[in-house]
Structure 1
């Protein structure tokens, strides 16, 4: 009996020791990355570029505007917390580069030549190894890969699709094993490819909750039994090597969305709002009606007056409710990195990006839930940094923003009242923006002589670059270059998170749809515009 007790005690100590060991060894730390480069045969056309990246800890999209000198040289630095591949975007000289690896505490020398981004030293070999493997994998599985590319295949049930994804994952990982034996792949490459192949299947599986019959993702009404539980158990994140792929980062982001919306009810939301003791009994009565019948109540004069008075608090409590539900559901995940990273991305999505921070009660809950202490420390630092600016704002600054917003609308929008307005926020160095231009021209022809205006608002770009861009791409529509101040104010008004972003306004100048469809969606966006044109 004593021996059994001793064994149990030793087991507990071992588990505790292992857990403590994870906290010590799996440390995350931001390190400097420096990239120096030159554009071969530089024509002095574009004087700026942009470097964009996001990591798995918060999935915050970071931008760096890059200055290019008269010789085509550039040099910039930034902080990075873990290696990345395919969640890094380098937009420069009218080109968009994504297929390259970046690691913390590393200096890179690059050349842009004949439309290619070329790294010096071993880094070019690493990128070539990844590219070559991808090509060989596609050749080996060419008969199977395109067969069921999207979930929008009516012939497959959700279960059949999940089984197919798992079969393909096993085949790809098996190919990687045999390919690695024949080819001298570096440790970095093998680690990244393993993460990519595994979490590509994970991402495809969790997005199988959607159907696309209407041209956009819509939650399925019925999912297989234990759909989420099986995915969470199958695709746990165990090491920091897992998180370097874009596929893993996006998989985590999907879990955040799932858990922050799971099992929400109108009554639960009402009780949460009520617990803050902020609203009057009359206002609470309105909120109760709103949460039970949003479509009807949101159109009433009573609600609009309530929103005018309580907008900031109402928005804040909605974000806080998302975090409340996320933390309530987080134990559906096993302890470890998956849980830690879902919490960290959730805090960024709902709090930090909205200038909010957890309250003391939430911090205590978060501290008990997160195992990795370096992630917890990083989150506390981010919480302080990201919300400091909000606390130091003055009333006069906010008043100036209101006045400036009115002037900006008068300058750019009011002249088009009476027409549907399709706004395109873009930058001259934005690759995806450039890709949309042919579709935009096609859309302009489709609506020629109709009651709609296409308003192209360029931001974060130099005047000379903008003029060259307009001339080179023969932009149609109405074109304006925003100052940084104008862009900042409009991003808050129209919820612009990056480029390109499209906003649809009705004929009264009211927002019909934030972050609406791109020109490349063709029929889907055409129908939205047509409906607004016909609407009185």
Structure 2
């Protein structure tokens, strides 16, 4: 009954927005895959940094991809990769130099990095990149305090949606006005202005849709007291099917949140337990344990019984959960009118369930449903190609560098892996990739001490690999916090290579190495997850 009420609510919401969400007409398909080539040179290169790191946002799947590239002895570098559509949420980093990039498929970019860390972009859209970067920087500086105030609204526990919406509307008007004034004083192309203004127009869409969540708990929950027409209002105010916005950062975040609304926001109900029950794979007691996980009942999920059950059946539970989420998404999204927004909601949902080293694919029935729902067949073809890539990647040995790193870096990767990690062969290694400036990393320190004490005297090494941090701050923090385990400060090159090898997109990230020196788990549980982490390490000690 509860599931039926939720589905009825969804249908009401989506039917109500049908008249608002029609596709904005466009003369060309915004999804035009092509190869991107970046040529670079570092002036007066001293040979200190031998690698660089490039992060590219895939706006079709919502995945942030990473490329590590070598720098030769003369300071030259070259990167080529396939890109499915424009993206303004990408960037390159070499040591302390960060270069934000607006990328378009099929184009070539030339980058020159100066001694002082400044950079020059030339080639196709080179000048456009500089214009967009300078204007974004000016906006961020001008409205820094306003963005801090916006974040405070998100942290409030009481709902005052109208006040927040008024603030967002006013902020958008002031930002657009600032852009107009900026353009009177600074020479800038109309294309750069259009890119920035379009992205700004979806900033309140992201800010307001995030407001549905209350972050005052240890985990985000649906905020109480939202207006009854909250979703209809947002979907009517901010166009969902907008091909021109495909490269926009905030449009992508808006789409991603709509995906979550149709998946995670409605998972906490009896429907998923009924779905698990129908598989006849779980006993009544096991279904009870699973239900307590979705109810976030820590009195049960921290118990030894639950942790042992979770460790034993986690893969199966994850697979069925993702199947259920996909079912819910495909049932709900059909009430949106056809268009690029609906296609992207499906694509983002697909990637959340079936990408990133997960070893199973959509069923034939799911592919058939996606084929009937996705109007842009280039997106459907791209999803099939993405699925094939991740399946091939998932079944490779985790230590295999083939197709992970460029040929010039494969030998270097073996050396980098061996230096801080390989010497512990014969022992289980629990790795913490962290940074001194990372708040969540520091919150895990007390839990890491407890975990280390639990395995005292056993063949387990707790290896803390700090990255992108000042050496003095690193040494001071280790001493002041009396941090457990072995410690190593990674160089920028070492971090670049290991971040690609371990698929690190943020810190903290935890990994497990077995006694043979092989990567067993690139996404191990955190120290604060207690019994689950203990069980994962115990499994490798047997």
What TM-score results when the alignment is normalised by the length of structure 1?
A: 0.70
The separation in 1 between residues aligned to 2:377 and 2:496, in whole angstroms, is 48
Q: CA distance change for structure 1 residues 182 and 444 in 2, over 3 Å: closer, same or farther? A: closer
Shift of 1:463: 9.9
Q: Is the 8 A contact 2:56 2:66 kept in 1?
A: yes
d(CA) in 2 for partners of 1:488 and 1:33? 31
**In structure 2, distance between residues paired with 1:393 and 1:340:** 33
User: Alpha-carbon deviation of 1:124?
Assistant: 4.2
Task: Please report how far the alpha carbon of residue 322 of structure 1 lies from its aligned counterpart in structure 2 after TM superposition.
Answer: 2.3
Q: Which residue of 1 aligns with 2:322?
A: 319
Paired residue secondary structure (2:80): strand
Answer yes or no: is 1:120 the counterpart of 2:125.
no
1:111 partnered with 2:112: yes
Number of the residue aligned with 2:389: 385
1:263 CA drift (Å): 2.8
Aligned to 2:8: none
Tell me how far apart the structure 2 counterparts of residues 24 and 43 of structure 1 sit (CA, whole Å). 49
What are the superposed Cα offsets for residues 167-191 of structure 1, whole Å, 9 maximum, x if unpaired?
A: 2223433554676688764343133
**Of 16, 34, 37, the match for 1:34:** 37
Q: Contact between 1:417 and 1:508, CA under 8 Å: does it hold in 2? A: no
For residue 273 of structure 2, what is the aligned residue in structure 1? 270
Query: Which of 336, 358, 368 is equivalent to 2:372?
Result: 368
Relative distance call for 1:288 and 1:22 in structure 2 (3 A) is same
Distance change in 2, residues 1:442/1:232 (3 Å):
farther
Output the CA distance in 1 between the equivalents of 2:34 and 2:40: 20
**Per-residue deviation at 1:57?**
0.4
Query: Is 1:57 matched with 2:60?
Result: yes
2:126 matches 1:92: no
Over 3 Å counting, the alpha-carbon distance change for 1:163 and 1:425 in structure 2 is: farther
- Indicate whether 1:504 and 2:527 are aligned: yes
Q: CA deviation at 1:77?
A: 0.8
Question: Which of 1 and 2 has greater Rg?
Answer: 1
- CA displacement at 1:165 relative to structure 2: 0.6
Counterpart Cα distance in 2 of 1:48 and 1:302? 46
Q: What is the root-mean-square deviation of aligned Cα atoms in Å? A: 4.4
- Retained in 2: the 8 A contact 1:55–1:84? yes
Q: How far, CA to CA, are the matches of 2:307 and 2:249 in structure 1?
A: 41
Is the alpha carbon distance of 1:465 and 1:358 closer, same or farther for their aligned partners in structure 2, counting shifts above 3 Å? closer
Query: Matched residues in 1 for 2:430 and 2:284: separation?
Result: 42
Asked if structure 2 preserves the Cα contact closer than 8 Å seen for 1:84 and 1:103, the reply is yes
1:493 to 524, 528, 536: 524
The Cα of 1:96 is off from its aligned counterpart by 2.4
Q: In structure 2, what is the equivalent of residue 102 of structure 1? A: 103
1:370-414 CA deviation, whole Å, 9 max, x = no partner? 2222111211221223224446779xxxxxxxxx99945258799
Q: CA deviation at 1:229?
A: 2.5
SS at match of 2:265: coil
Is structure 2 residue 362 aligned with structure 1 residue 358?
yes
Match of 2:168 among 148, 165, 181: 165
* Other structure's SS at 2:266 match: coil
| Preserved CA contact (<8 Å) 2:155 2:216 | no
**Alignment partners' CA distance in 2, 1:131 and 1:142:** 16
1:409 aligns with 2:411: no
Q: Distance in 2 between matches of 1:119 and 1:148?
A: 33
Q: Is the 8 A contact 1:269 1:291 kept in 2?
A: no
CA distance in 2: counterparts of 1:452 and 1:417, whole angstroms:
7
1:145-181 Cα deviation digits (max 9, x unpaired): 7665642575992321122112222343355467668
* Distance change (3 Å), C-alpha of 1:140 and 1:452: closer
Whole-angstrom distance in 1 between the partners of 2:486 and 2:227: 44
Mapped to 1, the partners of 2:27 and 2:495 lie a distance apart of 50
Contact 1:232 1:333 in 2 (8 A): no
User: How big is the shift at 1:315?
Assistant: 1.8
Alignment of 1:299-314 (within 5 A): 299-300=302-303, 302-314=305-317
Matched residues in 1 for 2:172 and 2:290: separation? 47
* Aligned with 1:418 (options 435, 444, 453): 453
Matched, 1:195 2:198: yes
When the two structures are aligned, how many residues end up with a matched partner? 453
Deviates more, 1:134-143 or 1:54-63: 134-143
Could you tell me which runs of 5 or more consecutive residues in structure 1 were left unpaired when the two chains were aligned: 1-18, 395-403, 428-432, 467-479, 495-502, 514-536
